[in-house]
Structure 1
Amino acid sequence: MAQPEGTLPPGGPLDSPRVFKLVLLGSGSVGKSSLAFRYIRNEFRSILPTVGCAFFTKVVHVGTASLKFEIWDTAGQEKYHSVCHLYFRGAHAALLVYDISSKESFLRAQQWLRDLESEILPGDVVVMLVGNKTDLDEERQVTVQEGKEFADSKGLLFTEASAKLNHQVTEAFQAVAQELLRREERVAQTQKGDPQVLLNEGPHKQAKCCGR
Protein backbone atom coordinates (compact mmCIF):
# COMPACT_ATOMS: atom_id res chain seq x y z
CA MET A 1 0.00 0.00 0.00
CA ALA A 2 1.38 3.36 -1.00
CA GLN A 3 0.36 6.50 0.83
CA PRO A 4 2.41 9.50 -0.29
CA GLU A 5 1.04 12.84 0.77
CA GLY A 6 1.64 15.99 -1.26
CA THR A 7 2.78 19.20 0.34
CA LEU A 8 0.33 22.06 0.52
CA PRO A 9 1.05 24.84 -1.99
CA PRO A 10 1.96 28.28 -0.58
CA GLY A 11 -1.20 30.13 0.32
CA GLY A 12 -3.24 26.96 -0.18
CA PRO A 13 -6.24 25.92 1.91
CA LEU A 14 -5.61 24.67 5.44
CA ASP A 15 -8.74 22.53 5.70
CA SER A 16 -8.64 18.77 5.05
CA PRO A 17 -8.76 17.85 1.36
CA ARG A 18 -11.97 16.37 0.02
CA VAL A 19 -11.77 12.62 -0.51
CA PHE A 20 -12.69 11.02 -3.84
CA LYS A 21 -12.67 7.31 -4.66
CA LEU A 22 -11.11 6.46 -8.04
CA VAL A 23 -11.10 2.95 -9.52
CA LEU A 24 -8.78 1.64 -12.22
CA LEU A 25 -10.64 -0.68 -14.61
CA GLY A 26 -9.55 -2.78 -17.56
CA SER A 27 -8.28 -6.18 -18.63
CA GLY A 28 -5.20 -7.83 -17.21
CA SER A 29 -1.81 -6.63 -18.51
CA VAL A 30 -3.05 -3.29 -19.88
CA GLY A 31 -0.85 -1.46 -17.36
CA LYS A 32 -3.27 -0.26 -14.68
CA SER A 33 -0.82 -0.93 -11.85
CA SER A 34 2.03 0.59 -13.84
CA LEU A 35 -0.01 3.78 -14.31
CA ALA A 36 -0.73 3.88 -10.58
CA PHE A 37 2.92 3.38 -9.60
CA ARG A 38 4.08 5.99 -12.10
CA TYR A 39 1.57 8.49 -10.75
CA ILE A 40 2.07 7.75 -7.06
CA ARG A 41 5.82 7.09 -6.92
CA ASN A 42 7.06 8.27 -10.32
CA GLU A 43 8.44 4.77 -10.89
CA PHE A 44 7.95 2.25 -13.67
CA ARG A 45 7.81 -1.42 -12.81
CA SER A 46 7.07 -4.59 -14.72
CA ILE A 47 4.43 -5.73 -12.24
CA LEU A 48 2.87 -9.14 -11.75
CA PRO A 49 -0.92 -9.22 -12.25
CA THR A 50 -2.86 -7.66 -9.39
CA VAL A 51 -4.59 -10.17 -7.14
CA GLY A 52 -7.97 -8.88 -6.01
CA CYS A 53 -7.33 -5.17 -5.54
CA ALA A 54 -4.48 -2.82 -4.58
CA PHE A 55 -5.00 0.49 -2.76
CA PHE A 56 -3.14 3.80 -2.96
CA THR A 57 -3.77 7.35 -1.79
CA LYS A 58 -2.47 10.67 -3.09
CA VAL A 59 -3.24 14.30 -2.32
CA VAL A 60 -3.76 16.36 -5.48
CA HIS A 61 -3.68 20.14 -5.80
CA VAL A 62 -5.72 21.96 -8.42
CA GLY A 63 -5.00 25.67 -8.08
CA THR A 64 -5.75 26.54 -4.46
CA ALA A 65 -8.06 23.54 -4.04
CA SER A 66 -6.93 20.15 -2.73
CA LEU A 67 -8.43 16.70 -2.96
CA LYS A 68 -7.35 13.25 -1.86
CA PHE A 69 -7.59 10.36 -4.27
CA GLU A 70 -8.29 6.91 -2.84
CA ILE A 71 -7.15 4.81 -5.78
CA TRP A 72 -8.39 1.23 -6.10
CA ASP A 73 -6.45 -0.82 -8.65
CA THR A 74 -8.70 -3.73 -9.60
CA ALA A 75 -7.52 -7.08 -10.97
CA GLY A 76 -8.22 -7.53 -14.67
CA GLN A 77 -8.23 -11.32 -14.82
CA GLU A 78 -11.58 -12.92 -15.56
CA LYS A 79 -11.57 -15.01 -12.35
CA TYR A 80 -11.63 -11.78 -10.27
CA HIS A 81 -14.21 -10.03 -12.43
CA SER A 82 -17.24 -10.60 -10.20
CA VAL A 83 -15.31 -9.53 -7.10
CA CYS A 84 -14.18 -6.28 -8.72
CA HIS A 85 -17.79 -5.14 -8.97
CA LEU A 86 -17.71 -4.62 -5.22
CA TYR A 87 -15.15 -1.85 -5.66
CA PHE A 88 -17.43 0.14 -7.99
CA ARG A 89 -19.63 1.14 -5.08
CA GLY A 90 -19.10 4.67 -3.88
CA ALA A 91 -16.70 5.49 -6.72
CA HIS A 92 -16.52 9.12 -7.82
CA ALA A 93 -14.20 8.51 -10.79
CA ALA A 94 -12.71 5.76 -12.93
CA LEU A 95 -9.79 5.35 -15.29
CA LEU A 96 -10.88 2.87 -17.94
CA VAL A 97 -7.62 1.49 -19.36
CA TYR A 98 -6.81 -0.46 -22.50
CA ASP A 99 -3.59 -1.34 -24.33
CA ILE A 100 -3.28 0.39 -27.72
CA SER A 101 -1.46 -2.69 -29.04
CA SER A 102 -4.38 -4.98 -28.15
CA LYS A 103 -7.75 -4.66 -29.89
CA GLU A 104 -9.16 -7.23 -27.48
CA SER A 105 -8.33 -5.05 -24.48
CA PHE A 106 -10.17 -2.14 -26.15
CA LEU A 107 -13.28 -4.29 -26.60
CA ARG A 108 -12.98 -5.51 -23.01
CA ALA A 109 -12.78 -1.90 -21.81
CA GLN A 110 -16.19 -1.33 -23.36
CA GLN A 111 -17.54 -4.26 -21.35
CA TRP A 112 -15.96 -2.86 -18.18
CA LEU A 113 -17.80 0.39 -18.85
CA ARG A 114 -21.10 -1.46 -19.19
CA ASP A 115 -20.38 -3.26 -15.92
CA LEU A 116 -19.67 0.06 -14.21
CA GLU A 117 -22.86 1.59 -15.57
CA SER A 118 -24.86 -1.39 -14.29
CA GLU A 119 -23.75 -0.52 -10.75
CA ILE A 120 -23.75 3.30 -10.92
CA LEU A 121 -26.06 5.75 -12.68
CA PRO A 122 -24.50 7.18 -15.86
CA GLY A 123 -23.14 10.65 -15.20
CA ASP A 124 -22.58 10.02 -11.49
CA VAL A 125 -18.95 9.03 -12.08
CA VAL A 126 -16.20 10.90 -13.94
CA VAL A 127 -14.76 8.36 -16.38
CA MET A 128 -11.59 8.80 -18.43
CA LEU A 129 -10.73 6.34 -21.18
CA VAL A 130 -6.95 5.81 -21.27
CA GLY A 131 -5.13 4.13 -24.15
CA ASN A 132 -1.95 2.99 -22.39
CA LYS A 133 1.40 1.83 -23.85
CA THR A 134 1.97 4.49 -26.51
CA ASP A 135 5.58 3.28 -26.36
CA LEU A 136 4.28 0.34 -28.41
CA ASP A 137 3.03 2.57 -31.22
CA GLU A 138 4.59 0.34 -33.91
CA GLU A 139 2.39 -2.50 -32.67
CA ARG A 140 -0.74 -0.36 -32.45
CA GLN A 141 -4.07 -2.10 -33.06
CA VAL A 142 -6.35 0.70 -31.80
CA THR A 143 -6.10 4.10 -33.47
CA VAL A 144 -6.33 7.39 -31.60
CA GLN A 145 -9.49 8.14 -33.57
CA GLU A 146 -11.15 4.88 -32.48
CA GLY A 147 -10.45 5.64 -28.84
CA LYS A 148 -11.62 9.23 -29.10
CA GLU A 149 -14.79 8.36 -31.00
CA PHE A 150 -15.80 5.77 -28.41
CA ALA A 151 -15.06 8.20 -25.56
CA ASP A 152 -17.07 10.96 -27.26
CA SER A 153 -20.01 8.60 -27.87
CA LYS A 154 -20.15 7.81 -24.14
CA GLY A 155 -19.33 11.28 -22.80
CA LEU A 156 -15.96 10.18 -21.41
CA LEU A 157 -12.72 12.07 -21.08
CA PHE A 158 -9.97 10.59 -23.23
CA THR A 159 -6.20 10.44 -23.48
CA GLU A 160 -3.42 8.14 -24.56
CA ALA A 161 -0.52 7.55 -22.19
CA SER A 162 2.61 5.53 -21.47
CA ALA A 163 3.45 4.53 -17.92
CA LYS A 164 6.85 3.36 -19.18
CA LEU A 165 7.74 6.71 -20.76
CA ASN A 166 5.84 8.79 -18.17
CA HIS A 167 3.74 10.29 -20.96
CA GLN A 168 0.40 11.92 -20.03
CA VAL A 169 0.09 9.95 -16.78
CA THR A 170 -0.04 12.83 -14.31
CA GLU A 171 -2.09 14.83 -16.82
CA ALA A 172 -4.74 12.09 -16.94
CA PHE A 173 -5.24 12.00 -13.18
CA GLN A 174 -5.09 15.80 -13.01
CA ALA A 175 -7.84 16.15 -15.63
CA VAL A 176 -10.04 13.80 -13.60
CA ALA A 177 -9.36 15.87 -10.46
CA GLN A 178 -10.29 19.08 -12.29
CA GLU A 179 -13.53 17.54 -13.53
CA LEU A 180 -14.46 16.29 -10.06
CA LEU A 181 -13.94 19.73 -8.55
CA ARG A 182 -15.81 21.38 -11.42
CA ARG A 183 -18.81 19.11 -10.86
CA GLU A 184 -18.70 19.68 -7.11
CA GLU A 185 -18.69 23.43 -7.67
CA ARG A 186 -21.61 23.14 -10.09
CA VAL A 187 -23.64 21.18 -7.53
CA ALA A 188 -22.84 23.78 -4.85
CA GLN A 189 -24.03 26.55 -7.15
CA THR A 190 -27.22 24.63 -7.88
CA GLN A 191 -27.92 24.24 -4.18
CA LYS A 192 -27.61 28.03 -3.88
CA GLY A 193 -30.31 28.36 -6.51
CA ASP A 194 -28.29 29.39 -9.56
CA PRO A 195 -30.75 28.79 -12.46
CA GLN A 196 -27.99 28.75 -15.07
CA VAL A 197 -26.33 25.64 -13.70
CA LEU A 198 -27.31 22.35 -15.37
CA LEU A 199 -27.02 19.23 -13.25
CA ASN A 200 -26.89 16.93 -16.26
CA GLU A 201 -24.10 18.74 -18.03
CA GLY A 202 -21.56 16.27 -19.40
CA PRO A 203 -17.82 16.18 -18.76
CA HIS A 204 -15.78 19.23 -19.65
CA LYS A 205 -14.51 18.70 -23.19
CA GLN A 206 -11.47 20.96 -22.86
CA ALA A 207 -9.42 18.70 -20.59
CA LYS A 208 -5.84 19.54 -21.52
CA CYS A 209 -4.68 15.93 -21.36
CA CYS A 210 -6.93 14.79 -24.16
CA GLY A 211 -5.18 13.61 -27.30
CA ARG A 212 -1.73 12.17 -27.88
Structure 2
Amino acid sequence: MSWRNSSLTDVDHYLYQFRLIIIGESTVGKSCLLRRFTQGRWIEHNDPTVGVDFHTKMVQVDGHNLKLQLWDTAGQERFRAITRSYFRNAVGALLVFDISDQNSFAKVSGWMEDVRQSSKPHEPVFLLVGNKADLDRQRQVLRVDAERLANSFKIDYIETSSRTGQNVEEIFNVLARRIFEAIQDGTVVVGNGWDGVKKGDEIPKELSSRVNLQQKKISDTKDNGGGCCK
Protein backbone atom coordinates (compact mmCIF):
# COMPACT_ATOMS: atom_id res chain seq x y z
CA MET A 1 0.00 0.00 0.00
CA SER A 2 1.26 3.49 -0.77
CA TRP A 3 0.15 6.80 0.72
CA ARG A 4 0.14 10.19 -0.96
CA ASN A 5 -1.10 13.53 0.29
CA SER A 6 -2.00 15.94 -2.50
CA SER A 7 -2.60 19.68 -2.06
CA LEU A 8 -3.54 19.50 1.63
CA THR A 9 -1.92 21.04 4.68
CA ASP A 10 -2.58 20.82 8.40
CA VAL A 11 -4.17 24.27 8.36
CA ASP A 12 -6.86 23.44 5.78
CA HIS A 13 -10.40 23.54 7.14
CA TYR A 14 -13.25 21.48 5.76
CA LEU A 15 -16.91 20.81 6.52
CA TYR A 16 -16.84 17.05 5.84
CA GLN A 17 -14.37 14.34 4.96
CA PHE A 18 -15.64 11.77 2.44
CA ARG A 19 -14.08 8.34 2.07
CA LEU A 20 -14.30 7.36 -1.62
CA ILE A 21 -13.23 4.21 -3.46
CA ILE A 22 -12.38 3.75 -7.12
CA ILE A 23 -13.28 0.28 -8.36
CA GLY A 24 -13.28 -1.70 -11.59
CA GLU A 25 -11.29 -4.26 -13.53
CA SER A 26 -7.53 -4.08 -13.84
CA THR A 27 -6.19 -1.78 -16.62
CA VAL A 28 -9.37 0.33 -16.94
CA GLY A 29 -7.29 3.35 -15.86
CA LYS A 30 -8.32 3.90 -12.22
CA SER A 31 -4.83 4.94 -11.08
CA CYS A 32 -4.39 7.22 -14.09
CA LEU A 33 -7.68 8.99 -13.32
CA LEU A 34 -6.61 9.49 -9.74
CA ARG A 35 -3.17 10.78 -10.70
CA ARG A 36 -4.67 13.20 -13.22
CA PHE A 37 -7.08 14.50 -10.57
CA THR A 38 -4.63 14.82 -7.69
CA GLN A 39 -1.41 15.64 -9.55
CA GLY A 40 -2.62 17.03 -12.87
CA ARG A 41 -0.48 14.67 -14.94
CA TRP A 42 -0.73 11.54 -17.04
CA ILE A 43 1.82 8.73 -17.41
CA GLU A 44 1.87 6.48 -20.47
CA HIS A 45 2.98 3.36 -18.62
CA ASN A 46 1.67 2.74 -15.12
CA ASP A 47 2.29 -0.27 -12.90
CA PRO A 48 -0.85 -2.08 -11.64
CA THR A 49 -1.98 -1.13 -8.14
CA VAL A 50 -0.96 -3.65 -5.50
CA GLY A 51 -3.71 -3.82 -2.86
CA VAL A 52 -4.75 -0.17 -2.45
CA ASP A 53 -3.29 3.27 -3.06
CA PHE A 54 -4.31 6.37 -1.11
CA HIS A 55 -4.61 10.06 -2.00
CA THR A 56 -6.37 13.12 -0.59
CA LYS A 57 -7.64 16.29 -2.18
CA MET A 58 -9.95 19.17 -1.30
CA VAL A 59 -12.94 20.19 -3.43
CA GLN A 60 -15.67 22.76 -2.94
CA VAL A 61 -19.44 22.29 -3.06
CA ASP A 62 -21.74 25.27 -2.50
CA GLY A 63 -18.84 27.21 -0.99
CA HIS A 64 -17.94 24.47 1.49
CA ASN A 65 -14.57 22.74 1.57
CA LEU A 66 -14.87 18.95 1.38
CA LYS A 67 -11.86 16.72 1.96
CA LEU A 68 -11.82 13.63 -0.23
CA GLN A 69 -10.04 10.50 0.96
CA LEU A 70 -9.45 8.58 -2.28
CA TRP A 71 -8.77 4.84 -2.18
CA ASP A 72 -7.59 3.33 -5.46
CA THR A 73 -8.29 -0.41 -5.29
CA ALA A 74 -6.56 -3.17 -7.25
CA GLY A 75 -8.67 -4.79 -9.95
CA GLN A 76 -7.02 -8.22 -9.86
CA GLU A 77 -9.00 -11.02 -8.25
CA ARG A 78 -6.09 -12.07 -6.02
CA PHE A 79 -6.33 -8.75 -4.15
CA ARG A 80 -10.12 -8.87 -3.72
CA ALA A 81 -9.97 -9.95 -0.07
CA ILE A 82 -7.77 -6.93 0.70
CA THR A 83 -9.84 -4.42 -1.25
CA ARG A 84 -13.15 -5.59 0.24
CA SER A 85 -11.96 -4.46 3.65
CA TYR A 86 -11.91 -0.88 2.28
CA PHE A 87 -15.44 -1.07 0.87
CA ARG A 88 -17.16 -1.07 4.28
CA ASN A 89 -16.40 2.52 5.22
CA ALA A 90 -16.87 4.07 1.77
CA VAL A 91 -19.56 6.71 1.35
CA GLY A 92 -18.98 6.95 -2.40
CA ALA A 93 -17.67 4.83 -5.25
CA LEU A 94 -16.55 5.49 -8.81
CA LEU A 95 -17.42 2.43 -10.92
CA VAL A 96 -14.88 2.58 -13.73
CA PHE A 97 -14.79 0.64 -17.01
CA ASP A 98 -12.86 1.04 -20.27
CA ILE A 99 -15.06 2.07 -23.22
CA SER A 100 -12.75 0.06 -25.51
CA ASP A 101 -13.12 -3.13 -23.41
CA GLN A 102 -16.54 -4.78 -23.37
CA ASN A 103 -15.48 -7.25 -20.68
CA SER A 104 -14.68 -4.45 -18.22
CA PHE A 105 -18.19 -3.08 -18.78
CA ALA A 106 -19.75 -6.50 -18.27
CA LYS A 107 -18.10 -6.71 -14.83
CA VAL A 108 -19.53 -3.40 -13.57
CA SER A 109 -22.67 -4.92 -12.02
CA GLY A 110 -20.57 -7.46 -10.14
CA TRP A 111 -18.35 -4.76 -8.71
CA MET A 112 -21.35 -2.75 -7.60
CA GLU A 113 -22.95 -5.71 -5.86
CA ASP A 114 -19.67 -6.59 -4.19
CA VAL A 115 -19.43 -3.09 -2.70
CA ARG A 116 -23.06 -3.11 -1.62
CA GLN A 117 -22.69 -6.42 0.18
CA SER A 118 -19.42 -5.43 1.83
CA SER A 119 -20.59 -1.99 2.95
CA LYS A 120 -23.82 -2.97 4.72
CA PRO A 121 -25.69 -1.45 6.50
CA HIS A 122 -24.53 1.67 4.63
CA GLU A 123 -25.29 2.29 0.96
CA PRO A 124 -22.55 4.19 -0.90
CA VAL A 125 -23.32 6.79 -3.54
CA PHE A 126 -22.19 5.42 -6.92
CA LEU A 127 -21.15 7.10 -10.17
CA LEU A 128 -20.51 5.14 -13.39
CA VAL A 129 -17.40 6.20 -15.32
CA GLY A 130 -16.56 5.21 -18.89
CA ASN A 131 -12.82 5.87 -19.09
CA LYS A 132 -10.46 6.18 -22.09
CA ALA A 133 -12.83 8.38 -24.08
CA ASP A 134 -9.82 9.30 -26.23
CA LEU A 135 -10.04 5.76 -27.68
CA ASP A 136 -13.42 6.43 -29.23
CA ARG A 137 -12.38 4.78 -32.52
CA GLN A 138 -11.80 1.54 -30.63
CA ARG A 139 -15.02 1.87 -28.66
CA GLN A 140 -16.70 -1.43 -27.76
CA VAL A 141 -19.24 0.01 -25.29
CA LEU A 142 -21.85 2.31 -26.77
CA ARG A 143 -22.71 5.39 -24.75
CA VAL A 144 -26.41 4.52 -24.95
CA ASP A 145 -25.73 1.11 -23.35
CA ALA A 146 -23.72 2.67 -20.54
CA GLU A 147 -26.41 5.30 -19.96
CA ARG A 148 -29.05 2.57 -19.89
CA LEU A 149 -27.12 0.68 -17.23
CA ALA A 150 -26.60 3.85 -15.17
CA ASN A 151 -30.32 4.63 -15.41
CA SER A 152 -31.15 1.14 -14.16
CA PHE A 153 -28.93 1.84 -11.13
CA LYS A 154 -30.37 5.38 -10.81
CA ILE A 155 -26.89 6.91 -10.88
CA ASP A 156 -24.97 9.37 -13.09
CA TYR A 157 -22.83 8.31 -16.05
CA ILE A 158 -19.84 10.36 -17.28
CA GLU A 159 -17.15 9.54 -19.85
CA THR A 160 -13.57 10.54 -19.08
CA SER A 161 -10.03 10.48 -20.41
CA SER A 162 -7.08 10.60 -18.05
CA ARG A 163 -4.85 11.17 -21.10
CA THR A 164 -6.57 14.43 -22.10
CA GLY A 165 -8.08 15.30 -18.73
CA GLN A 166 -11.62 15.21 -20.15
CA ASN A 167 -14.19 15.30 -17.32
CA VAL A 168 -11.69 14.04 -14.72
CA GLU A 169 -12.35 16.93 -12.33
CA GLU A 170 -16.07 16.60 -13.01
CA ILE A 171 -16.48 12.99 -11.86
CA PHE A 172 -15.00 13.74 -8.43
CA ASN A 173 -16.92 16.99 -8.08
CA VAL A 174 -20.20 15.37 -9.12
CA LEU A 175 -19.75 12.46 -6.72
CA ALA A 176 -18.88 14.86 -3.88
CA ARG A 177 -21.99 16.92 -4.64
CA ARG A 178 -24.24 13.84 -4.70
CA ILE A 179 -22.91 12.78 -1.29
CA PHE A 180 -23.29 16.31 0.09
CA GLU A 181 -26.90 16.38 -1.12
CA ALA A 182 -27.53 12.95 0.42
CA ILE A 183 -26.30 14.27 3.77
CA GLN A 184 -28.56 17.31 3.43
CA ASP A 185 -31.67 15.20 2.76
CA GLY A 186 -30.82 12.63 5.43
CA THR A 187 -30.08 9.72 3.08
CA VAL A 188 -26.51 9.60 4.40
CA VAL A 189 -26.18 9.91 8.18
CA VAL A 190 -22.98 11.31 9.67
CA GLY A 191 -21.50 9.70 12.77
CA ASN A 192 -22.34 6.53 14.71
CA GLY A 193 -18.73 5.32 14.55
CA TRP A 194 -18.82 5.05 10.76
CA ASP A 195 -15.81 6.42 8.86
CA GLY A 196 -17.53 7.06 5.53
CA VAL A 197 -18.20 10.68 6.48
CA LYS A 198 -16.46 12.65 9.22
CA LYS A 199 -17.20 16.17 10.40
CA GLY A 200 -14.43 18.67 9.85
CA ASP A 201 -13.65 21.96 11.56
CA GLU A 202 -14.83 24.40 8.93
CA ILE A 203 -16.17 27.62 10.49
CA PRO A 204 -19.80 28.25 9.45
CA LYS A 205 -20.12 31.10 6.95
CA GLU A 206 -22.16 33.32 9.27
CA LEU A 207 -19.62 32.94 12.09
CA SER A 208 -16.71 33.45 9.68
CA SER A 209 -18.30 36.73 8.52
CA ARG A 210 -18.60 37.97 12.10
CA VAL A 211 -14.99 37.03 12.86
CA ASN A 212 -13.76 38.84 9.74
CA LEU A 213 -15.81 41.93 10.69
CA GLN A 214 -14.38 41.95 14.22
CA GLN A 215 -10.85 41.59 12.84
CA LYS A 216 -11.47 44.51 10.46
CA LYS A 217 -12.69 46.71 13.33
CA ILE A 218 -9.57 45.89 15.36
CA SER A 219 -7.37 46.63 12.36
CA ASP A 220 -9.16 49.95 11.71
CA THR A 221 -8.73 50.94 15.35
CA LYS A 222 -4.99 50.29 15.20
CA ASP A 223 -4.66 52.19 11.92
CA ASN A 224 -6.41 55.20 13.50
CA GLY A 225 -3.99 55.28 16.39
CA GLY A 226 -6.33 53.68 18.86
CA GLY A 227 -5.58 50.97 21.35
CA CYS A 228 -4.52 50.79 24.99
CA CYS A 229 -0.81 51.03 24.27
CA LYS A 230 -0.79 54.41 22.55
**Structure 1 match to 2:127:** 128
Aligned to 2:14: 16
**Cα deviations across residues 80-107 of structure 1 (Å, max 9, x unaligned)?**
1222111101100000000000000001
**Are 2:40 and 1:34 aligned?**
no
Residue by residue, what CA displacement relative to the aligned partner does 1:142-186 show, whole Å, maximum 9, x if unpaired?
010111110110112210100001000000100011111111111
Tell me what 2:160 maps to: 161
CA contact (8 A) 1:26 1:97 kept: yes
The offset of 1:122, in angstroms, is 8.5
8 Å Cα contact 2:38/2:57 also seen in 1: yes
Residue 42 of structure 2 is matched in structure 1 by: 44
Deviation at 1:32, TM superposition (A): 0.1
- Structure 1: how far apart are the matches of 2:89 and 2:131? 25
Per the alignment, residue 180 of structure 1 pairs with 179
Percent of aligned positions that are identical? 35
Equivalent positions of 1:11-160 (< 5 A) are: 15-45=13-43, 46-121=45-120, 124-160=123-159
Relative contact order: is structure 1 or structure 2 higher (C-alpha 8 Å, sep ≥ 6)?
2
**Counterpart contact for 2:30–2:72, Cα < 8 Å:** yes
Q: For 1:187, what is the secondary structure of its paired residue?
A: coil
Residues 11-70 of structure 1: CA deviation (Å, up to 9, x unaligned)? xxx853311100000000000000000000111013110000000011111231111111
Deviations 1:174-201 (A, max 9, x none): 001111111111129x9xxxxxxxxxxx
1:193 counterpart residue number: none
Q: Which amino acid aligns with 2:5?
A: Q
RMSD: 2.0
How many Å apart are 1:119 and its aligned residue? 1.7
Gaps of 5+ in 1: 8-13, 191-212
Q: Which amino acid aligns with 1:41?
A: Q
- The answer for the alignment partner of 2:198 in structure 1 is none
Q: What amino acid sits opposite 2:6 in the alignment?
A: P
Bigger shift: residues 119-128 or 44-53: 119-128
- Distance (whole Å) between structure 2 residues aligned to residue 109 and residue 132 of structure 1: 13
Q: 1:160 to 1:123 in 2, by over 3 A?
A: farther
Normalised to the residue count of structure 1, the TM-score between the two structures is: 0.81
Residue 3 (structure 1) aligns with:
5
TM-score under structure 2 normalisation? Answer: 0.75
Which amino acid in structure 2 is aligned with residue 4 of structure 1?
S
Partner Cα distance (2:185, 2:17) in 1: 17
Q: Distance in 2 between matches of 1:160 and 1:43?
A: 18
Does the C-alpha gap of structure 1 residues 122 and 49 become closer, same or farther in structure 2, counting only changes over 3 Å? same
Between the two proteins, the alignment pairs up a number of residues equal to 183
- The answer to whether the Cα contact below 8 Å between 1:2 and 1:40 also exists between their aligned partners in 2 is no
